Structure 1
Amino acid sequence: MTFDNFIIRLLTIDDLDAYFHLVEQNRERLEDFFTGTVSKTKTFEDTRKFMKDILQRTKDKTYFPYIIIDDSNKRIAGFLDLKNIDWNIPKSEMGLYIDKDYANQGISTKAFRLFCDFCFAEYKFQKLFLRTHHNNAFARRVAEKCGFEIEGTLRRDYKTTSGEIVDLIYYGRIN
């Protein structure tokens, strides 16, 4: 998938160095709502183990990690994933984060919109959804610009890195 000067593709083990750098550079921003990623990528070796695990899950069709590449410099500009996949419905939860150097440039919205269309066509999902904290204006704005609607609030649905249990807004988009 391509848009502007960016490419969206599956993460591979060859991306290990660049992926570790992405997480490390954005660790503080990711801490509250990407707790699994942050906790499993503290060191380079931890990140290697984490990547091997998620790549196995890709083979098992239970998780799909994608990266957004800036084609002008080959840097990873962001990360998209499909998780909590239910092939019986079929539906999937989506995640997104963008490198701080690429934030507030419209890249996230363009990438997410393209990725949603791809997921409906490629994986034949009938529904895509995401969960986010009410304070995450960035995620809420991207979701709404990409046709997601608020379906409700899941109370006490997520535990942050600091241990706080918070409510999450549930957004959905159907095909």
Structure 2
Amino acid sequence: MNPILLDVPLQIETDRLIIRAPLQAGEGNVVNPAIEDSISELKQWLQLFQSIPTVEEMEILLRNAHIDFLKRESFRYLIYHKGTNEFLGTASLHAINWKISKCEIGYWINTKFSGNGYMTEAVSELTKLGFQLLKFRRIEIRCESKNTKSRKIPEKLGFELEGILRNEDLSADGKTLTDTCIYAKVN
């Protein structure tokens, strides 16, 4: 089946979360304060956030994410707390290879909400979506070996550490070589 014909949910709900695609104009205004709250942590791990983007830059990024969602090239979701409607972070199914039937999951959370299991809950739901609806045969989570918070999520969810690629990538600031952990689940 051509992936463009897949009915991919625009919103997923869990006990505590609403996980939805970025559809509304103006969501850059919602995401940017979370980046500001978390910039010191985000800049350690994500090249994208070496500085705080403008609201306009974030709006463009989210609108492009929506286009990629419609084209079935990646599925970025915004994560909100169900009870308070506070924006928590983002998670995505990306690096999709439909021929192999695999993808990666990426994520980040506003630092002030870290440690409450929200991202583990969101990644668990996206893993189910990937295996059950999208019929992926492999889902990976890649992160820098020193990013212990990020590594805890695949470990809690039963992803297997398949290996650590030494000197495989540059640090987020582009200054040093880093090791990359590859976690995976197969279906």
Deviation (angstroms), 1:88: 0.6
The 3-state SS of whatever aligns with 2:146 is coil
Q: Structure 2 stretches of 5 or more lacking a match?
A: 1-11
Change (3 A) 1:60 1:156: farther
Aligned to 1:143: 154
Partner of 1:131: 142
Report what 2:44 is aligned to: 32
Say whether residues 1:82 and 2:93 are aligned partners: yes
* 8 Å CA contact 1:132, 1:169 repeated in 2: yes
Map 1:1-175 onto structure 2 (within 5 A).
1-14=12-25, 15-36=27-48, 38=49, 42-163=53-174, 164-175=176-187
Q: Report if aligned partners of 1:91, 1:126 keep a CA contact under 8 Å in 2.
A: yes
Aligned identity (percent) is: 24
Could you say what secondary structure the match of 2:45 adopts? coil
TM-score, with structure 2 as normaliser: 0.84
Residues 103 and 140, structure 2, Cα contact 8 Å, conserved in 1: yes
Q: Distance in 2 between matches of 1:58 and 1:4?
A: 24
Q: Secondary structure at the match of 1:101?
A: helix
Q: Which runs of 5 or more structure 1 residues have no equivalent in the other structure?
A: none
Cα offsets for 1:59-84 (capped at 9, x unmatched): 22112111211122211112101111
State the superposition RMSD in angstroms.
1.8
User: Aligned AA for 2:159?
Assistant: F
In the aligned structure 1, how far is the partner of 2:171 from the partner of 2:158? Answer: 27
Q: Secondary structure at the match of 2:120?
A: helix
Shift in alpha-carbon separation, 1:135–1:40, aligned structure 2, 3 A: closer
